[in-house]
Structure 1
Amino acid sequence: MSIKPFKSIGIGVAFSPNLKANLFEAARLSVFFGAKLFLIHVGESSLEKTNTLSNILKHFEKDNLNYEVVFKTGEPVSVILSTAEEKNIDLLILGAVQRERLLKYYVGSIARKITRQVKCSILLLIKPAVERIPCQHIVVNGLKDPKTEQTITSAFYVANQLEANKITIVEEINESQVPVKIDDDKSLRRANIMKERIQLREHSRIKEIINHIPKNYSENKTIKLQPIFGRKGYSIGHYAQISRADLLIMNAPSKMTFWDRLFPHDIEHILTELPTDVLILQ
């Protein structure tokens, strides 16, 4: 099991007002994870652009930031996807879009296309900042899935590198697992007993995963197990929002099909309204 999941990080670079904040976020993460940073610019190269980037990143010379600028012309989605593959990027950083006059964020059309097609992990940032905002609370999915053990292990690695001290593992449980029609006290008691049994089973499964995590990543962490009965994706997103988590970590969908575009996938709920920064792990 890989404990260092990110050896290379990529970010699309547009010379917009957010440029410095985006570069600072990407550079900080590259330093924290000991990763090489690739700055991908869709467009022609120029000395002026190169100088602008190097002047901003001078701040990270003391941290021995290792970075490379990639200039490539073409259609943005295909340029970013092809560069991510050519450079073996493990983590691609994308920015979110803020709804006008609302404190709500969503994934724009270009970023959504990339998220659906890219083969590496994705970090969606809602409010990039020049000054670091410490990451204190990470929420991670604990659903029953072959990828979940790797996802939880990676979440502990990320928490360790970012010095986050609290991790909540959310066990999303479909209401259909409690097939009891509640119409009196007796049926309510029966439903509650079934829910308690399911919660115990889920807790046992998650605790087994935590036992496999290297002790240096799990010690000195506040670990909470949170069962939620509800819709996958929507429930964990809502929980991350109300618990004011700094980062939500999710499994990538196994396969995005035509039907996923018609009937929202659990990740699609998250993309429609980002509750916080979201890391989708491949």
Structure 2
Amino acid sequence: MSLKPFKSIGIGVAYSPNLKANLFEAARLSVFFNSKLFLIHVGDASEEKVNMLKVILKSFEKDKLDYEVVFKKGDPVNVILSVSEEKKIDLLVLGAVQRERFVKYYVGSIARKITRQAKCSILLLIKPSVERVPCEHIVVNGLKDPKTEQTITTSFYVAKQLKAQKITIVEEINQQQVAVKVDDDKSLRRASIIKERIKLRENSRIKEIIEHIPEEYTSNIIIKSQPIFGKKGYSIGHYAQISRADLLVMNAPSKMTFWDRLFPHDIEHILTELPTDVLILQ
């Protein structure tokens, strides 16, 4: 079995101080995943702009980087979303913004709108770099959901292509599943037994998913299963932060309605304060 989830990668090209770093990150990913890269510029086409991009990407000539520049006028969100659909882009790379006076990153309004509406996978970068920063530890959600098996499988593909050393699969478990009021030693023991049973059940479920993944992707990497009791989205984000993960991989939410934004969805916790680079898989 051969996996190739990202045949094409897209990135919005704005002539900003981060342009070179963003392009280098997207170009490297295109090389690692053997994908075609689409550079989407909101605005008029010009030879000068094309030449500028050619100069920046010159160092990727040796890697036979396959890329195309797409110019389109209009609203940035609509342009990036429509080009992504027209070009059948599988992965859209977006830069996150650093908050003033804090080393915290949040998704700016344009990137947030794109993340909520895109029909393809999204990679949110918090610190794009011209020099490659190795991706060593990937944290991936293992919650019980129809999309999770594909998400975990894709995470192993990403880990292999990026030569990551470790994958941690985090199963977020709602505290309500341990519906025991702890007020004495007996109830504490009962709560502990319930927790252990849930952990064993979750670990068994994850183990079964991993057994279905081709061995070429699961060998030569440290695999850890980590059940956590807490709030969905917040718990895994916090874990990714304290474990110093280089990449957090999440399922895309099944729906994103007005109510999801009013009562934050698990993915909304992540978008509010990015713990690291985040890959949201469709």
TM-score tier by shorter-chain length is: over 0.9
| Aligned mates of 1:228, 1:58 — CA distance in 2 | 45
Counterpart residue number, 2:79: 79
Structure 2 distance, partners of 1:84, 1:142, is 28
Identity %: 82
How far apart are the structure 1 equivalents of 2:2 and 2:81? 23
What amino acid maps onto 2:256 in structure 1? M
- Number of the residue aligned with 2:176: 176
Letter in 2 for 1:275: P
Q: How does 1:248-259 map to 2 (within 5 A)?
A: 248-259=248-259
Q: CA RMSD in A?
A: 0.8
**Runs of 4+ more than 2 Å apart:** none
> Is the counterpart of residue 219 in structure 1 residue 219 in structure 2?
yes
Indicate the residue corresponding to 2:58 in structure 1: 58
Q: Write the distance in 1 (CA, Å) between the matches of 2:196 and 2:154.
A: 28
Deviation at 1:57, TM superposition (A): 0.6
For 1:28-107, what aligned pairs fall within 5 Å after superposition? 28-107=28-107
1:153-186, CA deviations, whole angstroms, 9 ceiling, x for partnerless residues? Answer: 0000000000001000000000000000011111
Matched, 1:11 2:7: no
Q: What is residue 231 of structure 2 aligned with on the other side?
A: 231
Q: What's the counterpart of residue 20 of structure 1? A: 20
- Which structure 2 segments of 5+ residues have no match? none
Matched letter for residue 126 of structure 1: I
Q: What letter matches 1:88 in structure 2? A: K
DSSP-derived class of the 1:167 partner: strand
**Matching residue's letter, 1:94:** L
Cα drift, residue 112 of structure 1: 0.5
Flag structure 1 segments of 5+ consecutive residues without an equivalent.
Answer: none
* Partner SS, residue 255 of structure 2: coil
Letter matched to residue 212 of structure 2: H
Structure 2: distance between partners of 1:260 and 1:6:
28
In the TM superposition, what is the alpha-carbon distance from 1:63 to its structure 2 partner?
0.2
Distance 1:79 1:257 in 2: 22
Pair 257,129 (structure 1): closer, same or farther in 2 beyond 3 Å: same
What is the TM-score normalised by the length of structure 1? 0.99
Distance 2:192 2:81 in 1: 47
Structure 1 position 3, deviation (Å): 1.8
Q: Which amino acid aligns with 2:186?
A: K
1:187 aligns with 2:187: yes
Q: CA deviation at 1:48?
A: 1.1
Task: Give the C-alpha shift of residue 223 in structure 1.
Answer: 0.4
SS in 2 for 1:119: coil
Corresponding residue for residue 198 of structure 2: 198
> CA shift at 1:132, angstroms?
0.1
3-state SS of 1:101 partner: coil
Q: CA deviation at 1:2?
A: 7.3
Q: Which residue is equivalent to 2:156?
A: 156
- The corresponding residue for 2:120 is 120
> What is the total number of aligned residue pairs between the two structures?
282
| Residue identity matched to 1:108 | G
* Cα distance in 1 between the residues matched to 2:203 and 2:259: 32
Partner SS for 1:250: strand
TM-superposed CA distance for 1:191, in Å, is 0.2
CA offsets 1:217-243 (integer angstroms, 9 cap, x no match)? 000110000000000000000000000
Query: Following the alignment from structure 1 to structure 2, what is the Cα–Cα distance between the partners of residues 54 and 152?
Result: 36
Q: Given the alignment of the two structures, is residue 261 of structure 1 paired with residue 255 of structure 2, yes or no?
A: no
Match of 2:14, SS state, is coil
Equivalent AA in structure 1 for residue 175 of structure 2? E
- Residue identity matched to 1:65: L
What letter matches 1:197 in structure 2?
R
